[in-house]
Amino acid sequence: NVTGTPSPAPVGLRAPLDESAIAGAVAHDLFSPQRAAPVRRYTLNDAELSVAAAAAGDTQPVEAPLLPTVQGTAVNAAGEGFAMCAMAGGPVVVVRPGDVIGDFTVVSIERTRVVFRDALGRRHAVAAVGSPSGDES
């Protein structure tokens, strides 16, 4: 049996109580067959991530993700194609939109670059190695 008093939420981090939101949540059956995922997935923005990190006591700066390298791309006139990519130290693999490499999902493939989405929903455009458009961005 655990005893003790719960610690209060950190000052300034407690959300205001919204009675209508609580009533709305209670009124909807969580297991209803009509329940569906939202059209657009909710993701935290940078400010919310900073507050969440501070609340968790994480004061370390967030490191930039290690992006895949793009060795080359092939795109036809219809805009369909593939890219040859690799994670650091890994083999070169062929990817298409929707494929996953490392912690990244391929969003789109263009003539000289590939756009990836990370787990936080952020997009990263990576230029193909040696492409005229420049280095990774």
Per-residue pLDDT of the chain (137 residues; tens, 9 = 90+): 555 666 665 555 556 667 777 777 777 777 778 877 777 766 666 666 666 666 666 656 556 679 999 999 999 988 899 999 999 999 999 999 999 999 999 999 999 999 999 988 999 999 998 766 544 44
Q: Is residue 46 part of a domain?
A: no
User: Hey, what amino acid is at 128?
Assistant: A
Q: Is residue 102 part of a domain?
A: yes
pLDDT attached to residue 60: 60
Q: Is 61 exposed, middle or buried (0-12, 13-18, 19+ CB in 10 A)?
A: exposed
| Close Cβ partners of 110 (under 8 Å, ≥ 6 residues apart) | 73, 75
Using alpha carbons only, how large is the chain's radius of gyration in Å?
A: 22
- Count: domains in the chain: 1
Q: Is residue 101 part of a domain?
A: yes
Q: Is residue 112 part of a domain?
A: yes
pLDDT attached to residue 134: 47
Q: Is residue 74 part of a domain?
A: yes
Residue 109: what are its φ and ψ, rounded to 5°?
-125, 125
Q: Tell if the pTM clears 0.85, that is, is over it.
A: no
Q: Is residue 89 part of a domain?
A: yes
**Can you give the residue range of the structural domain that contains 104?**
69-127
pLDDT attached to residue 137: 41
Whole-number Å distance between alpha carbons of 113 and 65: 17
